[in-house]
Structure 1
Amino acid sequence: MSITEKRRFQQIRRNWNSKLRALRIDGKNRKRYGEHAPKFAELLWIPTAALTHSVKAGSSKDSARIVQDWPDQFILPVRELPAIKACLAHWKIGLSWEATGIFQQMLDIIEEKGKVDRLRNLNDIEERYRSVDELYDKVASTGGLHPRSELIRGNFREEGGILVHIGPDGVPFFGKKGHHRLAVALALELEYIPAQLGVIHASAIDRLDAFREKK
Protein backbone atom coordinates (compact mmCIF):
# COMPACT_ATOMS: atom_id res chain seq x y z
CA MET A 1 0.00 0.00 0.00
CA SER A 2 1.27 3.47 -0.94
CA ILE A 3 1.93 6.07 1.75
CA THR A 4 -0.93 8.10 0.26
CA GLU A 5 -3.57 5.35 0.18
CA LYS A 6 -6.18 4.12 2.63
CA ARG A 7 -7.47 0.57 2.93
CA ARG A 8 -10.33 -0.27 0.59
CA PHE A 9 -13.13 0.03 3.16
CA GLN A 10 -11.70 3.32 4.46
CA GLN A 11 -11.46 4.61 0.90
CA ILE A 12 -15.08 3.70 0.11
CA ARG A 13 -16.30 5.34 3.31
CA ARG A 14 -14.31 8.50 2.65
CA ASN A 15 -15.58 8.72 -0.94
CA TRP A 16 -19.18 8.43 0.25
CA ASN A 17 -18.74 11.05 2.97
CA SER A 18 -16.96 13.36 0.51
CA LYS A 19 -19.77 13.13 -2.05
CA LEU A 20 -22.33 14.06 0.58
CA ARG A 21 -20.18 16.94 1.79
CA ALA A 22 -19.66 18.13 -1.80
CA LEU A 23 -23.40 18.19 -2.50
CA ARG A 24 -23.90 20.54 0.42
CA ILE A 25 -20.86 22.77 -0.03
CA ASP A 26 -20.91 22.98 -3.83
CA GLY A 27 -24.60 23.86 -3.85
CA LYS A 28 -24.16 26.58 -1.25
CA ASN A 29 -21.16 28.12 -3.02
CA ARG A 30 -22.73 27.91 -6.48
CA LYS A 31 -25.88 29.61 -5.27
CA ARG A 32 -23.89 32.52 -3.90
CA TYR A 33 -20.98 32.81 -6.35
CA GLY A 34 -22.20 31.20 -9.58
CA GLU A 35 -20.89 28.41 -11.78
CA HIS A 36 -17.22 29.21 -11.15
CA ALA A 37 -17.57 28.96 -7.37
CA PRO A 38 -15.07 26.86 -5.36
CA LYS A 39 -15.89 23.14 -5.14
CA PHE A 40 -15.20 20.71 -2.33
CA ALA A 41 -11.99 18.69 -2.90
CA GLU A 42 -11.45 20.51 -6.18
CA LEU A 43 -8.26 19.74 -8.10
CA LEU A 44 -5.91 22.69 -8.46
CA TRP A 45 -2.58 22.94 -10.27
CA ILE A 46 -0.25 25.01 -8.12
CA PRO A 47 3.10 26.34 -9.37
CA THR A 48 5.54 24.72 -6.96
CA ALA A 49 7.72 27.83 -6.78
CA ALA A 50 4.72 29.87 -5.59
CA LEU A 51 4.12 27.65 -2.57
CA THR A 52 6.64 29.26 -0.25
CA HIS A 53 4.69 29.40 3.05
CA SER A 54 2.38 27.24 5.11
CA VAL A 55 -0.53 28.17 7.33
CA LYS A 56 -3.02 26.31 9.52
CA ALA A 57 -6.28 27.73 8.17
CA GLY A 58 -8.45 24.61 8.14
CA SER A 59 -8.42 20.87 7.41
CA SER A 60 -9.24 18.94 4.24
CA LYS A 61 -12.84 18.71 5.51
CA ASP A 62 -13.00 22.50 5.23
CA SER A 63 -12.25 22.35 1.50
CA ALA A 64 -13.96 25.16 -0.46
CA ARG A 65 -14.98 26.98 2.70
CA ILE A 66 -14.91 30.70 1.97
CA VAL A 67 -13.45 32.88 4.73
CA GLN A 68 -13.33 36.61 5.33
CA ASP A 69 -10.41 36.59 7.78
CA TRP A 70 -6.93 35.17 7.33
CA PRO A 71 -4.48 34.00 10.00
CA ASP A 72 -1.61 36.40 10.64
CA GLN A 73 0.20 34.00 12.99
CA PHE A 74 1.85 30.61 12.50
CA ILE A 75 2.69 31.36 8.88
CA LEU A 76 5.94 29.45 8.33
CA PRO A 77 8.34 28.98 5.41
CA VAL A 78 7.58 25.64 3.76
CA ARG A 79 11.24 24.63 3.61
CA GLU A 80 11.55 25.03 7.40
CA LEU A 81 8.82 22.50 8.22
CA PRO A 82 10.55 19.52 9.90
CA ALA A 83 9.43 16.78 7.48
CA ILE A 84 10.17 18.84 4.38
CA LYS A 85 13.48 20.07 5.76
CA ALA A 86 14.51 16.46 6.46
CA CYS A 87 13.48 15.29 3.00
CA LEU A 88 15.47 18.03 1.28
CA ALA A 89 18.52 17.28 3.44
CA HIS A 90 18.22 13.59 2.50
CA TRP A 91 17.71 14.00 -1.25
CA LYS A 92 19.63 17.21 -1.98
CA ILE A 93 22.51 16.98 0.50
CA GLY A 94 22.71 13.20 0.84
CA LEU A 95 22.18 12.79 4.59
CA SER A 96 20.79 9.48 5.81
CA TRP A 97 17.27 9.65 7.17
CA GLU A 98 18.66 9.06 10.65
CA ALA A 99 21.14 11.92 10.26
CA THR A 100 18.37 14.36 9.31
CA GLY A 101 16.92 13.94 12.80
CA ILE A 102 13.44 13.10 11.56
CA PHE A 103 13.45 9.60 13.06
CA GLN A 104 14.21 10.90 16.53
CA GLN A 105 11.63 13.67 16.22
CA MET A 106 8.97 11.10 15.37
CA LEU A 107 10.09 8.75 18.15
CA ASP A 108 9.79 11.60 20.63
CA ILE A 109 6.20 12.21 19.52
CA ILE A 110 5.42 8.48 19.75
CA GLU A 111 6.81 8.38 23.28
CA GLU A 112 4.58 11.30 24.24
CA LYS A 113 1.39 10.46 22.33
CA GLY A 114 1.64 6.74 21.51
CA LYS A 115 1.71 7.21 17.75
CA VAL A 116 2.28 9.73 14.99
CA ASP A 117 0.47 9.53 11.66
CA ARG A 118 -0.46 5.88 12.37
CA LEU A 119 3.19 4.99 13.13
CA ARG A 120 3.95 3.40 16.51
CA ASN A 121 7.62 2.36 16.54
CA LEU A 122 10.97 2.63 14.77
CA ASN A 123 10.14 -0.17 12.34
CA ASP A 124 7.03 1.68 11.22
CA ILE A 125 9.05 4.86 10.74
CA GLU A 126 11.73 3.09 8.72
CA GLU A 127 9.09 1.48 6.51
CA ARG A 128 7.40 4.84 5.97
CA TYR A 129 10.61 6.44 4.78
CA ARG A 130 11.46 3.53 2.50
CA SER A 131 8.09 4.27 0.89
CA VAL A 132 8.98 7.96 0.69
CA ASP A 133 12.20 7.09 -1.15
CA GLU A 134 10.21 4.87 -3.52
CA LEU A 135 7.85 7.76 -4.20
CA TYR A 136 10.77 10.06 -4.93
CA ASP A 137 12.31 7.56 -7.36
CA LYS A 138 8.99 7.02 -9.12
CA VAL A 139 8.30 10.72 -9.56
CA ALA A 140 11.87 11.30 -10.72
CA SER A 141 11.39 8.67 -13.43
CA THR A 142 7.94 9.85 -14.57
CA GLY A 143 8.60 13.59 -14.29
CA GLY A 144 5.62 14.62 -12.18
CA LEU A 145 3.05 13.98 -9.49
CA HIS A 146 -0.33 12.70 -10.66
CA PRO A 147 -3.82 13.68 -9.49
CA ARG A 148 -5.44 11.36 -6.98
CA SER A 149 -8.07 10.21 -9.46
CA GLU A 150 -5.28 8.76 -11.61
CA LEU A 151 -3.61 7.02 -8.69
CA ILE A 152 -6.56 5.56 -6.79
CA ARG A 153 -9.52 4.08 -8.61
CA GLY A 154 -12.74 5.87 -7.73
CA ASN A 155 -11.08 8.57 -5.63
CA PHE A 156 -13.41 11.55 -5.24
CA ARG A 157 -11.89 14.52 -7.04
CA GLU A 158 -8.57 15.44 -5.36
CA GLU A 159 -9.64 14.29 -1.87
CA GLY A 160 -6.53 13.27 0.06
CA GLY A 161 -4.17 15.31 -2.08
CA ILE A 162 -1.65 17.95 -1.05
CA LEU A 163 -3.75 20.54 0.76
CA VAL A 164 -3.42 24.12 -0.45
CA HIS A 165 -5.32 27.10 0.93
CA ILE A 166 -5.83 30.13 -1.30
CA GLY A 167 -5.24 33.30 0.69
CA PRO A 168 -5.92 36.99 0.09
CA ASP A 169 -5.30 38.11 -3.50
CA GLY A 170 -4.93 34.50 -4.64
CA VAL A 171 -1.69 33.64 -2.81
CA PRO A 172 -1.39 29.86 -2.24
CA PHE A 173 -0.40 28.47 1.17
CA PHE A 174 0.52 24.87 2.01
CA GLY A 175 -2.11 23.46 4.38
CA LYS A 176 0.28 21.01 6.12
CA LYS A 177 -1.13 17.86 4.56
CA GLY A 178 1.02 16.04 2.03
CA HIS A 179 4.45 17.05 3.36
CA HIS A 180 6.36 14.25 1.64
CA ARG A 181 4.73 14.74 -1.75
CA LEU A 182 5.42 18.47 -1.60
CA ALA A 183 9.00 17.74 -0.56
CA VAL A 184 9.41 15.50 -3.61
CA ALA A 185 8.16 18.31 -5.84
CA LEU A 186 10.55 20.79 -4.25
CA ALA A 187 13.53 18.45 -4.43
CA LEU A 188 12.89 17.61 -8.09
CA GLU A 189 11.97 21.22 -8.92
CA LEU A 190 8.66 20.22 -10.50
CA GLU A 191 6.87 23.08 -12.22
CA TYR A 192 3.40 22.19 -10.89
CA ILE A 193 1.81 20.03 -8.23
CA PRO A 194 -1.76 18.70 -8.16
CA ALA A 195 -3.43 19.87 -4.96
CA GLN A 196 -6.71 19.70 -3.10
CA LEU A 197 -8.35 23.07 -2.53
CA GLY A 198 -8.45 23.98 1.14
CA VAL A 199 -10.15 27.12 2.40
CA ILE A 200 -10.25 30.18 0.18
CA HIS A 201 -10.28 33.85 1.10
CA ALA A 202 -13.27 35.76 -0.28
CA SER A 203 -10.95 38.15 -2.14
CA ALA A 204 -9.40 35.23 -4.05
CA ILE A 205 -12.51 33.67 -5.59
CA ASP A 206 -11.96 35.52 -8.88
CA ARG A 207 -8.35 34.26 -8.91
CA LEU A 208 -9.26 30.58 -8.62
CA ASP A 209 -9.46 29.97 -12.38
CA ALA A 210 -5.71 30.63 -12.58
CA PHE A 211 -5.11 27.36 -10.71
CA ARG A 212 -7.68 25.16 -12.41
CA GLU A 213 -5.47 24.21 -15.36
CA LYS A 214 -1.77 23.91 -16.04
CA LYS A 215 -0.44 26.86 -18.01
Structure 2
Amino acid sequence: MPLALHPPLQPQNLVRAIRAQVPRKALRDVRNRLAFGKAAPLSDELIYIDPRAVTHRYIPNPNQGAPRFRRSHSGHIATGDWDLSVAPLTGNIKEEAIQQHFLEGVPWEQTALFAKLSRDIAEKGMVDECHSVDELRARYERMDRLYDEASRTGKLLPKNALPDYFRREHGGIFVHIDRNGRAIRSGGGMHRFAVARLLGLTEVPAQVGVVHFEAVKNGLLAAYRRQS
Protein backbone atom coordinates (compact mmCIF):
# COMPACT_ATOMS: atom_id res chain seq x y z
CA MET A 1 0.00 0.00 0.00
CA PRO A 2 1.47 3.41 -0.99
CA LEU A 3 2.34 5.57 2.02
CA ALA A 4 -0.06 8.28 0.87
CA LEU A 5 -2.90 5.75 1.09
CA HIS A 6 -1.85 4.30 4.43
CA PRO A 7 -4.55 5.49 6.90
CA PRO A 8 -2.30 6.10 9.96
CA LEU A 9 -0.19 8.51 7.87
CA GLN A 10 -3.14 10.55 6.64
CA PRO A 11 -3.49 13.94 8.40
CA GLN A 12 -7.08 13.30 9.48
CA ASN A 13 -5.96 10.14 11.28
CA LEU A 14 -2.99 11.64 13.12
CA VAL A 15 -4.73 11.79 16.50
CA ARG A 16 -6.06 8.28 16.10
CA ALA A 17 -2.61 7.00 15.15
CA ILE A 18 -1.11 8.56 18.26
CA ARG A 19 -3.85 7.14 20.49
CA ALA A 20 -3.31 3.72 18.93
CA GLN A 21 0.44 4.13 19.60
CA VAL A 22 1.32 3.37 15.98
CA PRO A 23 4.85 4.87 16.22
CA ARG A 24 5.63 2.69 19.23
CA LYS A 25 4.17 -0.33 17.46
CA ALA A 26 6.34 0.32 14.40
CA LEU A 27 9.46 0.31 16.58
CA ARG A 28 8.26 -2.88 18.24
CA ASP A 29 7.93 -4.51 14.83
CA VAL A 30 11.51 -3.63 13.97
CA ARG A 31 12.86 -5.01 17.25
CA ASN A 32 10.81 -8.19 16.96
CA ARG A 33 11.91 -8.89 13.40
CA LEU A 34 15.56 -8.23 14.21
CA ALA A 35 15.35 -10.69 17.11
CA PHE A 36 13.13 -13.42 15.63
CA GLY A 37 12.85 -12.84 11.90
CA LYS A 38 9.60 -13.77 10.18
CA ALA A 39 8.53 -15.89 13.16
CA ALA A 40 7.95 -12.68 15.14
CA PRO A 41 4.48 -11.18 15.39
CA LEU A 42 3.69 -7.81 13.85
CA SER A 43 1.65 -5.28 15.77
CA ASP A 44 -2.01 -5.36 14.75
CA GLU A 45 -1.18 -8.39 12.60
CA LEU A 46 -4.02 -10.22 10.87
CA ILE A 47 -4.23 -13.86 11.93
CA TYR A 48 -6.98 -16.44 11.52
CA ILE A 49 -8.51 -18.41 14.38
CA ASP A 50 -11.12 -21.12 14.82
CA PRO A 51 -13.64 -19.63 17.29
CA ARG A 52 -14.61 -23.14 18.42
CA ALA A 53 -11.05 -23.75 19.61
CA VAL A 54 -10.96 -20.61 21.75
CA THR A 55 -12.16 -21.83 25.12
CA HIS A 56 -10.51 -19.47 27.62
CA ARG A 57 -10.21 -15.75 28.29
CA TYR A 58 -7.32 -13.84 29.77
CA ILE A 59 -7.69 -12.60 33.36
CA PRO A 60 -5.42 -9.63 34.20
CA ASN A 61 -3.81 -9.98 37.62
CA PRO A 62 -0.87 -7.55 37.85
CA ASN A 63 0.02 -8.66 41.37
CA GLN A 64 0.53 -12.20 40.09
CA GLY A 65 2.52 -11.39 36.95
CA ALA A 66 -0.44 -11.05 34.57
CA PRO A 67 -0.46 -7.42 33.32
CA ARG A 68 -3.48 -5.65 31.90
CA PHE A 69 -2.81 -5.89 28.18
CA ARG A 70 -4.57 -3.57 25.73
CA ARG A 71 -4.67 -3.26 21.94
CA SER A 72 -1.63 -1.00 22.22
CA HIS A 73 0.33 -4.11 23.30
CA SER A 74 -0.44 -5.92 20.04
CA GLY A 75 2.63 -7.79 18.83
CA HIS A 76 4.41 -7.62 22.18
CA ILE A 77 6.45 -10.72 23.04
CA ALA A 78 6.28 -11.56 26.75
CA THR A 79 7.98 -14.15 28.93
CA GLY A 80 6.74 -15.39 32.30
CA ASP A 81 3.54 -17.05 33.43
CA TRP A 82 1.05 -14.36 32.42
CA ASP A 83 -0.56 -16.79 29.96
CA LEU A 84 -1.60 -19.08 32.81
CA SER A 85 -3.97 -16.45 34.18
CA VAL A 86 -7.06 -17.60 32.31
CA ALA A 87 -10.64 -18.69 32.94
CA PRO A 88 -13.15 -20.61 30.80
CA LEU A 89 -15.22 -18.50 28.43
CA THR A 90 -18.62 -17.71 29.87
CA GLY A 91 -21.61 -15.77 28.63
CA ASN A 92 -21.49 -11.98 28.86
CA ILE A 93 -23.89 -9.14 28.29
CA LYS A 94 -22.78 -8.58 24.68
CA GLU A 95 -23.10 -12.22 23.70
CA GLU A 96 -26.49 -12.45 25.42
CA ALA A 97 -27.74 -9.40 23.50
CA ILE A 98 -26.54 -10.82 20.20
CA GLN A 99 -28.32 -14.12 20.86
CA GLN A 100 -31.51 -12.32 21.91
CA HIS A 101 -31.47 -10.08 18.85
CA PHE A 102 -30.59 -12.60 16.14
CA LEU A 103 -32.22 -15.75 17.55
CA GLU A 104 -35.26 -14.31 19.31
CA GLY A 105 -35.82 -11.14 17.30
CA VAL A 106 -35.49 -8.79 20.28
CA PRO A 107 -34.83 -5.22 19.07
CA TRP A 108 -31.42 -3.91 20.09
CA GLU A 109 -32.96 -1.09 22.10
CA GLN A 110 -34.82 -3.60 24.26
CA THR A 111 -31.67 -5.45 25.31
CA ALA A 112 -29.88 -4.91 28.61
CA LEU A 113 -26.72 -4.17 26.61
CA PHE A 114 -28.22 -1.21 24.76
CA ALA A 115 -29.58 0.20 28.03
CA LYS A 116 -26.19 -0.14 29.71
CA LEU A 117 -24.29 1.46 26.83
CA SER A 118 -26.79 4.31 26.69
CA ARG A 119 -26.22 4.98 30.40
CA ASP A 120 -22.46 4.80 29.90
CA ILE A 121 -22.65 7.40 27.11
CA ALA A 122 -24.68 9.72 29.36
CA GLU A 123 -22.22 9.32 32.23
CA LYS A 124 -18.87 9.11 30.40
CA GLY A 125 -19.52 10.91 27.14
CA MET A 126 -18.29 8.01 24.99
CA VAL A 127 -18.37 4.23 24.97
CA ASP A 128 -17.32 1.81 22.22
CA GLU A 129 -16.37 4.88 20.14
CA CYS A 130 -19.97 6.13 20.29
CA HIS A 131 -20.66 9.67 21.55
CA SER A 132 -24.46 9.56 21.36
CA VAL A 133 -27.36 7.13 21.34
CA ASP A 134 -27.81 7.88 17.62
CA GLU A 135 -24.23 6.72 17.00
CA LEU A 136 -24.98 3.65 19.10
CA ARG A 137 -28.01 2.85 16.93
CA ALA A 138 -25.88 3.24 13.81
CA ARG A 139 -23.28 0.89 15.31
CA TYR A 140 -25.87 -1.83 15.76
CA GLU A 141 -27.29 -1.26 12.30
CA ARG A 142 -23.78 -2.06 11.07
CA MET A 143 -23.84 -5.15 13.28
CA ASP A 144 -27.04 -6.27 11.54
CA ARG A 145 -25.32 -5.90 8.17
CA LEU A 146 -22.24 -7.77 9.41
CA TYR A 147 -24.40 -10.64 10.65
CA ASP A 148 -26.38 -10.81 7.40
CA GLU A 149 -23.17 -10.85 5.34
CA ALA A 150 -21.53 -13.50 7.54
CA SER A 151 -24.68 -15.63 7.51
CA ARG A 152 -24.85 -15.45 3.72
CA THR A 153 -21.14 -16.03 2.98
CA GLY A 154 -20.10 -18.14 5.95
CA LYS A 155 -17.22 -15.85 6.83
CA LEU A 156 -16.22 -12.58 8.48
CA LEU A 157 -14.27 -10.14 6.36
CA PRO A 158 -10.90 -8.88 7.62
CA LYS A 159 -10.61 -5.22 8.53
CA ASN A 160 -8.78 -4.37 5.29
CA ALA A 161 -11.98 -5.20 3.41
CA LEU A 162 -14.21 -2.96 5.54
CA PRO A 163 -14.98 0.78 5.30
CA ASP A 164 -13.51 1.49 8.74
CA TYR A 165 -10.09 0.04 7.85
CA PHE A 166 -7.26 1.72 9.75
CA ARG A 167 -4.19 -0.50 10.14
CA ARG A 168 -3.76 -4.22 9.51
CA GLU A 169 -6.37 -5.94 11.74
CA HIS A 170 -6.57 -3.14 14.32
CA GLY A 171 -10.02 -3.20 15.93
CA GLY A 172 -10.68 -6.87 15.17
CA ILE A 173 -11.19 -9.83 17.47
CA PHE A 174 -8.37 -9.50 19.99
CA VAL A 175 -6.53 -12.66 21.08
CA HIS A 176 -3.29 -13.46 22.87
CA ILE A 177 -1.20 -16.53 22.04
CA ASP A 178 0.05 -18.60 24.97
CA ARG A 179 3.24 -20.65 25.25
CA ASN A 180 1.58 -23.68 23.65
CA GLY A 181 0.19 -21.70 20.72
CA ARG A 182 -3.34 -21.56 22.10
CA ALA A 183 -5.42 -18.47 21.31
CA ILE A 184 -6.86 -16.71 24.37
CA ARG A 185 -9.69 -14.17 24.14
CA SER A 186 -9.02 -10.73 25.54
CA GLY A 187 -10.65 -7.34 25.26
CA GLY A 188 -12.08 -6.00 22.01
CA GLY A 189 -13.97 -7.62 19.17
CA MET A 190 -16.52 -9.37 21.38
CA HIS A 191 -19.42 -8.59 19.02
CA ARG A 192 -17.64 -10.11 16.03
CA PHE A 193 -16.50 -13.09 18.10
CA ALA A 194 -20.03 -13.70 19.40
CA VAL A 195 -21.46 -13.54 15.86
CA ALA A 196 -18.84 -16.05 14.67
CA ARG A 197 -19.72 -18.43 17.49
CA LEU A 198 -23.44 -18.02 16.93
CA LEU A 199 -23.07 -18.86 13.22
CA GLY A 200 -20.67 -21.74 13.87
CA LEU A 201 -17.91 -20.24 11.71
CA THR A 202 -14.70 -22.27 11.65
CA GLU A 203 -12.21 -19.58 10.65
CA VAL A 204 -12.34 -15.84 11.32
CA PRO A 205 -9.86 -12.94 11.16
CA ALA A 206 -8.38 -11.72 14.43
CA GLN A 207 -5.91 -9.14 15.69
CA VAL A 208 -2.85 -10.63 17.34
CA GLY A 209 -2.38 -9.53 20.93
CA VAL A 210 0.53 -10.46 23.17
CA VAL A 211 2.45 -13.57 22.18
CA HIS A 212 4.36 -15.72 24.64
CA PHE A 213 8.10 -15.94 24.04
CA GLU A 214 7.97 -19.75 23.84
CA ALA A 215 5.35 -19.62 21.09
CA VAL A 216 7.52 -17.28 19.04
CA LYS A 217 10.68 -19.31 19.66
CA ASN A 218 8.91 -22.49 18.52
CA GLY A 219 7.29 -20.91 15.46
CA LEU A 220 3.75 -21.56 16.69
CA LEU A 221 2.34 -18.34 15.27
CA ALA A 222 2.70 -19.80 11.78
CA ALA A 223 -0.42 -21.92 12.36
CA TYR A 224 -2.52 -18.74 12.44
CA ARG A 225 -1.09 -17.17 9.32
CA ARG A 226 -2.35 -17.63 5.80
CA GLN A 227 0.23 -18.23 3.14
CA SER A 228 0.11 -15.41 0.59
Give your verdict on TM over 0.5: yes
- Over the residues paired in the alignment, what is the CA RMSD in angstroms? 3.1
1:210 is matched with: 223
Give the conservation status (yes or no) of the 8 Å contact 1:21–1:40.
Answer: no
Shift of 1:118: 3.1
Match of 2:203 among 185, 192, 198: 192
32, 47, 50: which one pairs with 2:50? 47
Q: 1:138 aligns with which of 140, 143, 149?
A: 149
Deviation, 1:50, is 1.4
Q: Does 1:110 align with 2:113?
A: no
The match for 1:30 is 33
2-structure distance, mates of 1:13, 1:105: 26
Tell me, in whole angstroms, the C-alpha distance in 2 between the residues paired with 1:86 and 1:210: 32
Counterpart of 2:106, as a letter, is: L
Q: What SS does the corresponding residue of 1:44 show, helix, strand or coil?
A: strand
| Alpha-carbon distance, 1:155 to partner | 4.4
Could you list the runs of 5+ residues in structure 2 that have no partner in the other structure?
1-6, 61-67
Aligned residue number for residue 4 of structure 2: none
Shift of 1:82: 1.7
Write out per-residue CA displacement over residues 107-143 of structure 1, whole angstroms, 9 at most, x where no aligned residue: 2323432331233443333232222112111222222
**Secondary structure of the corresponding residue to residue 196 of structure 1:** strand
Q: Output aligned runs, 1:102-181, within 5 Å.
A: 102-152=113-163, 155-181=166-192
Q: Give percent identity, aligned residues only.
A: 33
Moved more, 68-77 or 102-111: 68-77
Secondary structure at the counterpart of residue 156 of structure 1: coil
What one-letter code is carried by the residue in structure 2 that aligns with 1:44? I
With the length of structure 2 as denominator, give the TM-score of the two structures. 0.76
CA distance, structure 2, for counterparts of residue 153 and residue 161 of structure 1: 11
Question: What is the TM-score when the length of structure 1 is the normalising length?
Answer: 0.80
Displacement of 1:202 in angstroms is: 1.5
d(CA) in 2 for partners of 1:36, 1:74: 25
Contact 2:121 2:133 in 1 (8 A): no
Query: Hey, what's the Cα distance between the residues in 1 that align with 2:16 and 2:119?
Result: 32
The whole-number CA distance in structure 1 between the counterparts of 2:156 and 2:105 is 22
- The Cα of 1:93 is off from its aligned counterpart by 3.5
Give, in whole Å, the separation in 1 of the partners of 2:49 and 2:29. Answer: 21
What SS is found at the alignment partner of 1:190?
A: coil
Aligned length: 208
**Secondary structure of 1:80 counterpart:** coil
Cα deviation, residue 152, structure 1: 4.7
Provide Cα deviations, 1:76-133, integer angstroms capped at 9, x if missing partner.
62x5232122112221343332443111211232343233123344333323222211
Residue 79 of structure 2 corresponds to residue 59 of structure 1: no
